[in-house]
């Protein structure tokens, strides 16, 4: 054990400087590593803040902060998740703790410390534990990953709230769930509260307990919250053909008056916008489209088709979790944009030789591009950023855009062209008419019965 010593201001700034299990030499090693290694200012702030948080938590729970055990790190992450920390924040905590331990010369305690759903409290019976583990083993195959991630976050938030209130979260009483709605409802939308209840009910059924969310009192609390807050949903601003036209013109390499050549990112973004327009693909569907699934249209079998058209397979979607897949049509303009983009897209080494020459195309249509390098696949968030950036260049006052704007705009264009609701559902791969009806409600209002009748009276003399 180290003896008492006087710490300099620099030493005291290291979060682990006062940990009694560390020797002066180990503290000096931490201080030197932190001061000498080049890193961004934001990274330094994150390392210091995360380290201080961990040391404080270990002091409060009477645990050893360094070297920490895997059980200690797992408990810390579970506590942070129960307080509502996002998955991204939890991953940052793990990276920070791994860095500090490596800098001190200790083994990484974060390996295998990812928190899995659920993390039940110690008061749960063995039967409930076994039921939860069995459910999670099966749920990995039967539920979408996004559903399980949402259930994990929701259950952890509920468990953390119940812990603060001194209430049982599994099983939870209907009165507890009702109190939870009243406490958090003021800062949550009705759709979010409904998701919370679905997650709480799911975990209760998985553990073999009655679902408290089906009790009449919880139902009334949910309805009262919806009435008080309102259930209106914000809709992404549509990127219709009229809005897209000037954006695509700015990115068209064939413009005769263009003075500077387009960059690869310009060609990629133009192809992305055109493919999104033609396929009505969601952002998470766009980023997983593959070159191998692109097929030219056979003009002999499709006399109405034009040269250059193609189809592409959407292997899986929100409404097709089993992966049956669906074919989507691409215009000749979109195919030409893809061809121009592929000619300049980054290449990667062969799979068998990761260090060899660049010989292989990326598997996905749209890869990530940045100053630090390229990645073989974009993220759904990157689609939103492309839409926002390109629309902002054409119209600095544009607001309300998202990765869904292409889908909303295409749906409105189809309705304006006379496509009926079943045809619109087929084009966008909707299994219910609710969403396409919501996307086009403003346009349908201008073409409704009242509008048609009143317009028919224009020009008539009043009676």
Residue 116 forms part of a structural domain: no
Q: Evaluate if residue 436 carries a pLDDT over 60.
A: yes
The average pLDDT across 134-144 equals 69
Of 229, 260, 294, which residue is a domain's last? Answer: 229
The reply to whether 261 and 161 lie within a common domain is no
The reply to whether 414 and 282 lie within a common domain is yes
The reply to whether 371 and 271 lie within a common domain is yes
Return the SS3 of 338.
helix
Least confident of 92-96, 171-175, 319-323, 352-356: 352-356
* Residue 5: predicted pLDDT: 36
The reply to whether 82 and 141 lie within a common domain is no
Task: List the CATH number of the domain containing 16.
Answer: 1.10.150
Nearest to 244 by CA among 401, 358, 381: 401
Least confident of 63-77, 111-125, 145-159: 111-125
- Our CA angle for 428, 431, 432, nearest 5°, is 100
Q: Evaluate if residue 98 carries a pLDDT over 60.
A: yes
Q: Evaluate if residue 451 carries a pLDDT over 50.
A: yes
Q: Evaluate if residue 148 carries a pLDDT over 70.
A: yes
- What average pLDDT does the structure give for the chain? 79
CA–CA distance, 256 with 253 (Å, rounded to integer)? 8
Query: How confident is residue 7, by pLDDT bands cut at 50, 70 and 90?
Result: very low
Residue 460 forms part of a structural domain: no
Domain of residue 36, residue span: 9-104
Query: Tell me: the pLDDT tens digits for 311-344?
Result: 899 887 776 666 677 888 889 999 999 999 998 8
Q: Evaluate if residue 62 carries a pLDDT over 50.
A: yes
* Residue 231: predicted pLDDT: 58
Residue 118 forms part of a structural domain: no
The reply to whether 274 and 153 lie within a common domain is no
60 preceded by a cis bond (ω within 30 of 0): no
Pair 330, 275: CB distance under 8 Å? yes
The reply to whether 193 and 99 lie within a common domain is no
The answer for residues whose C-beta is within 8 angstroms of residue 113's C-beta and 6 or more apart is 70, 73, 74, 77, 94
Residue 162 forms part of a structural domain: yes
Residue 453 forms part of a structural domain: no
Task: List the CATH number of the domain containing 167.
Answer: 1.10.150.130
% residues pLDDT > 90 (the chain): 7
Residue 238 forms part of a structural domain: no
Residue ranges of alpha helices (H) inside 105-215 are 126-142, 145-165, 174-184, 190-206
Task: List the CATH number of the domain containing 308.
Answer: 1.10.443.10
Helices 380-394 and 241-250: angle between axes, nearest 10 degrees: 80
The reply to whether 212 and 259 lie within a common domain is no
* Residue 226: predicted pLDDT: 82
Residue 189 forms part of a structural domain: yes
What one-character-per-residue DSSP string does 191-217 give?
Answer: HHHHHHHHHHHHHHHHTT---GGGSHH
Given the DSSP bridges, would you call strands 347-349 and 326-330 parallel, antiparallel or unpaired? Answer: unpaired
- Write b or e for each residue in 21-58: b if 16 or more Cβ atoms lie within 10 A of its Cβ, otherwise e: ebeeebbeebbebbeeeeeeeeeeebbeebbeebbebb
The reply to whether 149 and 73 lie within a common domain is no
CA–CA distance, 441 with 434 (Å, rounded to integer)? 10
- Our CA angle for 252, 282, 222, nearest 5°, is 145
Query: How confident is residue 135, by pLDDT bands cut at 50, 70 and 90?
Result: confident
- Write b or e for each residue in 266-294: b if 16 or more Cβ atoms lie within 10 A of its Cβ, otherwise e: bbbbbbbbbbbbbbbbbbebbbbbeeebb
CA–CA distance, 117 with 56 (Å, rounded to integer)? 25
Range among 11-20, 131-140, 378-387 rated most confident: 378-387
The reply to whether 261 and 402 lie within a common domain is yes
Return the SS3 of 71.
helix
Query: How confident is residue 274, by pLDDT bands cut at 50, 70 and 90?
Result: very high
Nearest to 93 by CA among 73, 69, 120, 117: 73
Number of domains in the chain: 3
The reply to whether 175 and 291 lie within a common domain is no
- In angstroms, what CA-CA distances link 371 with 110, 272, 342, 374? 30, 20, 19, 8
The reply to whether 267 and 404 lie within a common domain is yes
Pair 427, 435: CB distance under 8 Å? no
Least confident of 4-8, 293-297, 365-369: 4-8
Range among 14-23, 167-176, 418-427 rated most confident: 167-176
* Residue 169: predicted pLDDT: 82
Query: Tell me: the pLDDT tens digits for 11-57?
Result: 446 788 878 888 888 888 888 888 877 777 778 888 888 888 898 88
Least confident of 199-203, 240-244, 400-404: 400-404
Residue 396 forms part of a structural domain: yes
Q: Evaluate if residue 299 carries a pLDDT over 70.
A: yes
The reply to whether 317 and 440 lie within a common domain is yes
Q: How many CA atoms lie within 13 A of 330 on its CB side?
A: 31
Pair 366, 312: CB distance under 8 Å? no
Query: How confident is residue 88, by pLDDT bands cut at 50, 70 and 90?
Result: confident
- Our CA angle for 291, 292, 296, nearest 5°, is 85
């Amino acid at each position: 054990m180290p003896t008492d010593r006087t710490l300099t201001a620099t030493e005291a700034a290291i979060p682990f400087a006062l940990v009694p299990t560390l020797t002066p030499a180990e503290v000096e090693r931490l201080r030197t590593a932190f001061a000498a290694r080049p890193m961004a200012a934001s990274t330094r702030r994150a390392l210091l803040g995360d380290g201080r948080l961990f040391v404080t938590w270990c002091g409060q729970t009477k645990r050893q902060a360094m070297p920490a055990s895997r059980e200690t790190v797992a408990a810390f992450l579970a506590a942070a998740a129960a307080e509502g920390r996002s998955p991204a924040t939890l991953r940052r905590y793990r990276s920070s703790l791994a860095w500090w331990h490596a800098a001190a010369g200790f083994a990484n305690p974060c390996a295998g410390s990812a928190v899995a759903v659920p993390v039940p409290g110690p008061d749960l019976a063995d039967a409930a534990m076994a039921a939860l583990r069995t459910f999670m083993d099966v749920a990995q195959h039967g539920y979408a990953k996004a559903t399980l991630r949402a259930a994990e976050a929701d259950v952890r938030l509920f468990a953390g709230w119940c812990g603060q209130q001194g209430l049982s979260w599994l099983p939870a009483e209907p009165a507890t769930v009702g109190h939870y709605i009243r406490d958090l409802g003021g800062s949550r939308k009705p759709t979010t509260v409904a998701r919370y209840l679905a997650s709480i009910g799911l975990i209760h059924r998985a553990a073999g307990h009655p679902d408290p969310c089906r009790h009449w009192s919880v139902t009334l609390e949910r309805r009262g919250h919806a009435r008080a807050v309102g259930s209106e949903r914000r809709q992404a601003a549509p990127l219709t053909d009229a809005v897209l036209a000037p954006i695509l013109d700015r990115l068209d390499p064939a413009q005769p008056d263009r003075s500077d050549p387009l960059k690869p990112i310009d060609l990629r973004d133009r192809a992305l916008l055109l493919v999104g327009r033609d396929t009505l693909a969601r952002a998470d569907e766009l980023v997983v489209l593959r070159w191998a699934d692109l097929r030219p249209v056979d003009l002999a079998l499709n006399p109405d088709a034009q040269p250059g058209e193609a189809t592409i397979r959407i292997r899986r979607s929100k409404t097709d979790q089993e992966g049956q897949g669906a074919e989507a049509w691409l215009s000749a303009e979109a195919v030409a944009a893809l061809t121009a983009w592929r000619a300049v897209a980054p290449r990667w080494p062969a799979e068998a030789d990761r260090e060899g020459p660049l010989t292989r195309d990326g598997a996905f249509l749209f890869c990530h591009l940045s100053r630090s390098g390229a990645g073989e696949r974009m993220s759904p968030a990157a689609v939103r950023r492309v839409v926002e950036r390109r629309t902002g260049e054409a119209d600095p006052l544009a607001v309300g855009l998202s990765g869904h704007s292409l889908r909303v705009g295409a749906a409105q264009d189809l309705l304006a062209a006379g496509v009926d609701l079943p045809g619109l559902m087929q084009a966008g791969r909707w299994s219910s008419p609710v969403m396409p009806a919501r996307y086009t409600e403003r346009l349908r209002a201008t073409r409704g019965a009242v509008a048609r009748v009143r317009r028919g009276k224009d020009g008539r003399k009043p009676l």
